[in-house]
Amino acid sequence: MTSQSSATRRPSHGNVGSAFAKELFGRPAERKLKATLDKGLDRVEAVLSEQVQYADKVAQVTTTYLLGAGGKRLRPMLVLLSAQLGPKSDSEGVLTAAAATEITHLASLYHDDVMDDATLRRGVTAAHLRWTNSMAILAGDLLFARASQMFSHLGAEAIRLQATVFERLVLGQMHETIGPAEGEDRIDHYLRVLADKTGSLIGAAAEYGVLLSGAPEAYRQPLATFGEGIGTAFQIVDDVIDLSPSSDKTGKLAGTDLRAGVETLPVLLLERRALAGDEKAADLLERIRTRVAGTAPGSQDASFAREESRGSSDPAEVDAIITELREHEVSQETLEAAETHVRHALEALDPLPSGVVKAALQEFADRLINRDF
């Protein structure tokens, strides 16, 4: 569905931020926190609608396109949650940071979809297909500028953090695009890309909550480390979700990344085994590269598909290879890598006092990797 009415529809918290709030807070002692976060998310939604406004009609239509298409609002939720550690948890500054963090994320998605040649985002036609690459990039630029204006009201530290994150988002995307340097371990490179392009903004979300609520400075680094760790884990879990059967809730074709020629962590772990002499792993890897890569709809330019191979023309064969990878030990290893990141993220919370906020952060991390969305 790509009509303007659906694209500009304001989400009524059918979003995961809110779904998290529901599941995190079953016990009576936690209900107050849940109510606070629900109210906060509503206020963030209002700030988002207020802030993404342009006198120019084209600017208005293009920038609100993805905002109105929904989204999980994970980052605003994390800003609000970590802000509960400070005395000014419902200040304007916290709300502004929550909304500006979401706008920064949104800006990056416009750019990302151009670079990935994506067809769908948040259930609607990708912006560059709706308009043009140039317009999608410009809409992302406008949103990024708007987020910068919002952060400019929050003080030098907030601006510095945004600039640092912006640099990491771009470097993450750049390193993903150019691949590992000569001699660089491919798995190390991959994990660094995930930390930069996804972990950095989620880490900043958690850090903004501390910074703008007046929480103790000593909590800043722990929350930043926590956010970055769970953000990286979130992206790693995506690699396994990508292998889920098409009929599942992903709403995506099974093996979208593999078909597009993107070497995700399960494939990199398979390669590591193949290089160590595991012949079965080498055989599966070869079939992924020659039979699966290049089978993405409309995509014939897989980055690692061999020149002579454009993938199998037999959909059943492609599905079987994807299933084989999903059931291979490397997929379990991938999930274990995500769990390791979450474990380190949770350890970073050690300096926080025990209580409802810490428990909710722990639950947030757990839900993020054991998700069904």
User: Given the complex with ligand FPP, which of 238 and 312 has the nearer CB atom?
Assistant: 238
Half-sphere CA count of 127, side-chain side, radius 13 A = 32
Interface with ligand FPP by CB under 6 A: which range of 106-114, 148-156, 204-212, 272-280? 106-114
197 is a site residue for ligand FPP (CB under 6 A) = yes
User: Given the complex with ligand FPP, which of 15 and 108 has the nearer CB atom?
Assistant: 108
Q: Which of 260, 262, 270, 251 is nearest to 326 (CA)?
A: 270
Separation between Cα atoms, residue 366 and residue 16, nearest integer Å: 14
192 is a site residue for ligand FPP (CB under 6 A) = no
371 burial type by CB count under 10 A (0-12 exposed, 13-18 middle, 19+ buried): middle
As measured in angstroms, the least distance from the Cβ of 327 to Mg ion is: 26
Asked if 292 and 310 count as a contact pair (C-beta separation under 8 A), the reply is no
Separation between Cα atoms, residue 267 and residue 288, nearest integer Å: 8
Among 198, 200, 264, 331, binds ligand FPP (CB under 6 A): 198
Among 63, 173, 295, 299, binds ligand FPP (CB under 6 A): 173
18 binds, among ligand FPP, Mg ion, none (CB under 5 to 8 A by kind): none
As measured in angstroms, the least distance from the Cβ of 112 to Mg ion is: 4
Separation between Cα atoms, residue 32 and residue 15, nearest integer Å: 20
112 is a site residue for Mg ion (CB under 5 A) = yes
Query: Which of the residues 4 through 63 are near ligand FPP (CB under 6 A)?
Result: none
- At 124 the three-state DSSP class reads strand
Among 169, 215, 268, 369, binds ligand FPP (CB under 6 A): 169
Q: Which of 117, 106, 168 is nearest to 139 (CA)?
A: 106
Among 36, 101, 104, 299, binds ligand FPP (CB under 6 A): 104
User: Given the complex with Mg ion, which of 257 and 271 has the nearer CB atom?
Assistant: 257
Contacts with ligand FPP, 111-130, as mask; x by CB under 6 A: xx---x-x------------
As measured in angstroms, the least distance from the Cβ of 350 to ligand FPP is: 28
Interface with ligand FPP by CB under 6 A: which range of 6-14, 102-110, 332-340, 351-359? 102-110
Query: Which of the residues 309 through 338 are near ligand FPP (CB under 6 A)?
Result: none
Separation between Cα atoms, residue 121 and residue 136, nearest integer Å: 12
Separation between Cα atoms, residue 89 and residue 360, nearest integer Å: 15
Interface with ligand FPP by CB under 6 A: which range of 37-45, 61-69, 88-96, 110-118? 110-118
Half-sphere CA count of 129, side-chain side, radius 13 A = 13
As measured in angstroms, the least distance from the Cβ of 243 to ligand FPP is: 14
263 is a site residue for Mg ion (CB under 5 A) = no
Asked if 81 and 101 count as a contact pair (C-beta separation under 8 A), the reply is no
Give backbone dihedrals phi and psi of 121, rounded to 5 degrees, phi first.
-145, 130
241 binds, among Mg ion, ligand FPP, none (CB under 5 to 8 A by kind): none
User: Given the complex with ligand FPP, which of 235 and 331 has the nearer CB atom?
Assistant: 235
Q: What is the DSSP string of 264-287?
A: -HHHHHHHHHHHTT-HHHHHHHHH
Q: Give the nearest residue (CB) to Mg ion.
A: 116
Extract the tokens encoding 64. 């609100």
Separation between Cα atoms, residue 203 and residue 63, nearest integer Å: 25
238 is a site residue for Mg ion (CB under 5 A) = no
102 is a site residue for Mg ion (CB under 5 A) = no
CA angle 42, 49, 81 (to 5 degrees): 35
Among 140, 199, 227, 261, binds ligand FPP (CB under 6 A): 140
Give backbone dihedrals phi and psi of 120, rounded to 5 degrees, phi first.
-125, 145
Q: How many CB atoms lie within 10 A of CB 266?
A: 27
As measured in angstroms, the least distance from the Cβ of 257 to Mg ion is: 9
Separation between Cα atoms, residue 352 and residue 20, nearest integer Å: 21
Binding region for Mg ion (CB under 5 A): 112, 116
Residue ranges binding ligand FPP (CB under 6 A) = 104, 107-108, 111-112, 116, 118, 140, 144, 166, 169-170, 173, 197-198
